[in-house]
Structures are given as structure tokens and as C-alpha cells.
Amino acid sequence: MKMIKKKEEKEVKKELFLKKALLEAQRNLQDAYTGLANVKDPDLIDCYIYEVNAANLRYQVILRDYKQLESQKKKADAISQSRNCQTASAPLFPHA
């Protein structure tokens, strides 16, 4: 029982971390686009293009991890519900 609780706590922490990281990645991406829109120097343009690409890739990776975690949660919930239904519908005295 303790192990299940620790696993659930770990998943909750991971979900919170990914949500925060996703918001931060969105802000970084927006900042990079804003910077790109406001510069004229060719060297700075190259710099901001690099930042946009890096921020975009980071956002995609975090989003993929978050979606994967959500998918795992849905599968676990479905399995749990399936087990609960089987337990609830099983006769109390099958050989009576």
C-alpha cells in the first residue's frame, strides 16, 4: 500500500513539474519571438532565431512527456475501474 502511495505521489510531482516547465517554455518561446520582432542587427536576428528554435524544441519535448504521462494515467485509471467492476460483479459465494 505504501509503495502505491509513493508511486502516486511521484506521478503527481512529475505532473506538476511538467506543467510548470510547459508554462516556462511557453514564456521563453514568446520572449524569443518578441525579441526577434524587435531587432535589426543581423547578428542579433541570428541569435533570436537560435533562441526561437531552442525554445520551440524544448516546448515540444515537454509537451510530449506531459501527453505521455496523461496517457499512462488514463490507462491506469481504466485498469483500476475494470478491476473494481470485476470485483463488484463477482459473486460472494461462487461455489454455493
Q: Give 27's pLDDT tier (boundaries 50, 70, 90).
A: very high
Domain that holds residue 25: 2-69
Backbone torsions φ then ψ of 91, nearest 5 degrees: -70, 150
- The answer to whether position 53 is within a domain reads yes
Decide if 33 is inside a domain.
yes
Q: What average pLDDT score do residues 44-67 get?
A: 97
d(CA 92, CA 68): 38
Does 61 reside within a domain?
A: yes
46-50, 63-67, 75-79: segment of lowest average pLDDT: 75-79
Is the pLDDT at 23 greater than 70? The verdict is: yes
d(CA 33, CA 54): 12
Q: Residue 75: inside a domain, yes or no? A: no
Has residue 81 been placed in a domain?
A: no
How many structural domains does the chain have? 1
